């Protein structure tokens, strides 16, 4: 399953954000701490690339604490970027974010004529509206546990000299690596009509059983050693029987058990789990490039090789070589 999801309103959102960003002092980008790079949308990066950024690894109460530290270090090394952990239940988060914004743009927010303008952006259902409500101290933005609740830009005020803009969630225009689609779907950032819950549950089971989170999964579902010798497909049936997901006639309800397993992950019921590391990302990129190269036919490879000169070769003309196409 290769998941793609880019509803029409996201094109309008992209244009609106691109127009808005010119007048923005600071961008707060929310990432899902369980899948930080999967939720770091390149479409957004192309729009905000030169702006001062605060990257908040949101939902950090559901992700692996040790990997949270690794990801904080990873993003902090990026230019014009401050990275912090986000938690909707952290009452001190509001003051901390406001202070970071003021420190990053000390010349702004000093008067009514020079307000500090902050844009909040990110993928769908990553917690933007919840953060908006936390910053304003009231329910200013709609929230919900489904993707794409916010459909248009909203301008809100923390005070007379501090303006925040809530923007619609924007998904990758094209999800290049299959793992990204799975991770975003598991984190509930993709509409249900774009995915197959059964395949998603199988991916999650395979991932967890091959990871350091295996024991938590075993404990959650009271699995026995013999269960762990089953492949994910048969194990899903075992989980269905254990949870009573049986339809009339004794037929296993794989849809229902898939939804239960996915929701248990989202609720953190089998531990604090992170779905990716920087090293895993590098492996996906390498694999994707190899697959792309392998899928090219001979004519495409010939065309590509014709333009594969390094910088030194392009500096000066070279003598004609009748065998150059064989390189």
Residue whose C-alpha is closest to residue 277's, from 181, 179, 191 = 179
- The alpha-helical segments, DSSP class H, found in the chain are 9-20, 42-48, 65-76, 93-104, 128-136, 178-186, 197-209, 214-220, 232-242, 254-266, 278-295, 298-306, 311-315
Per the structure block, which two tokens stand in for 126?
Answer: 């990553």
In 3D space, the residue among 277, 228, 218, 266 whose CA is nearest the CA of residue 67 turns out to be 277
**pLDDT reported for residue 136:** 87
For the domain bounded by 9-166, which CATH number is listed? 3.40.50.300
Percentages of the chain per state (helix, strand, coil), in multiples of 5: 45, 10, 40
Q: Quick one: fold of 196-266?
A: Conserved Hypothetical Protein Ylqf; Chain: A; domain 2 (1.10.1580)
Q: Following DSSP, what letter does each residue of 230-262 receive, concatenated?
A: S-HHHHHHHHHHHTT-B-TTS-B-HHHHHHHHH
In the chain, domain spans: 9-166, 196-266
HSE value, Cβ hemisphere, 13 Å, CA-based, for 83: 19
Q: How many residues does the chain have?
A: 327
Token duo for residue 306: 């014709």
What is the mean pLDDT for each group of 10 consecutive residues in the chain (327 residues)?
Answer: 66 81 93 94 86 95 96 94 84 89 91 90 90 82 48 80 90 82 92 87 96 96 94 96 93 96 96 94 79 59 44 43 41
CB-based contact 129:136 (threshold 8 Å): no
pLDDT in tens, 103-113: 999 998 888 88
Contact 30, 122 (CB under 8 A): yes
State residue 321's pLDDT score: 44
Name the DSSP letter for residue 147: S
Report the pLDDT value the prediction gives residue 281, as an integer from 0 to 100. Answer: 86
∠ CA 302-305-307, nearest 5°, is 120
For residues 184 and 197, give the distance between their C-alpha atoms in angstroms, rounded to a whole number.
13
Distance of alpha carbon 209 from the chain centroid: 22
């Amino acid at each position: 399953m290769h998941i793609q999801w880019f509803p029409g309103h996201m094109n309008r959102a992209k244009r609106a954000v691109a127009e808005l960003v010119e007048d923005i002092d600071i961008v707060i980008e929310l990432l899902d701490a369980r899948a930080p790079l999967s939720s770091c949308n390149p479409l957004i990066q192309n729009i905000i690339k030169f702006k001062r950024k605060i990257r908040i690894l949101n939902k950090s109460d559901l992700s692996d604490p040790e990997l949270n530290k690794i990801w904080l270090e990873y993003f902090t090394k990026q230019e014009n970027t401050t990275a912090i952990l986000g938690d909707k239940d952290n009452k001190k988060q509001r003051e901390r974010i406001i202070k970071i914004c003021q420190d990053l743009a000390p010349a702004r927010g000093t008067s009514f004529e020079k307000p500090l303008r902050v844009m909040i952006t990110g993928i769908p259902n990553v917690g933007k509206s919840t953060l908006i409500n936390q910053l304003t101290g009231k329910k200013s933005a709609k929230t919900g546990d489904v993707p794409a609740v916010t459909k248009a830009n909203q301008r809100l005020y923390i005070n007379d000299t501090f303006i925040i803009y809530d923007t619609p969630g924007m998904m990758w225009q094209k999800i290049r690596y299959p793992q990204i689609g799975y991770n975003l779907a598991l984190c509930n950032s993709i509409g249900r009509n774009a995915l197959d819950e059964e395949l998603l549950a199988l991916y999650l089971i395979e991932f967890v059983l091959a990871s350091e989170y295996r024991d938590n999964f075993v404990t959650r579902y009271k699995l026995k050693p013999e269960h762990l010798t089953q492949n994910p497909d048969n194990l899903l049936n075992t989980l269905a029987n254990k949870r009573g997901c049986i339809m009339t006639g004794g037929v296993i309800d794989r849809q229902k058990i898939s939804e239960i397993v996915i929701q248990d992950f989202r609720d953190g019921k089998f531990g604090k789990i992170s779905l990716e590391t920087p090293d895993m990302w590098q492996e996906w990129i390498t694999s994707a490039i190899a697959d792309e190269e392998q899928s090219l036919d001979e004519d495409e490879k010939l065309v590509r090789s014709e333009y594969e000169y390094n910088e030194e070769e392009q500096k000066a003309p070279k003598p004609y070589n009748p065998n150059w196409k064989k390189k």
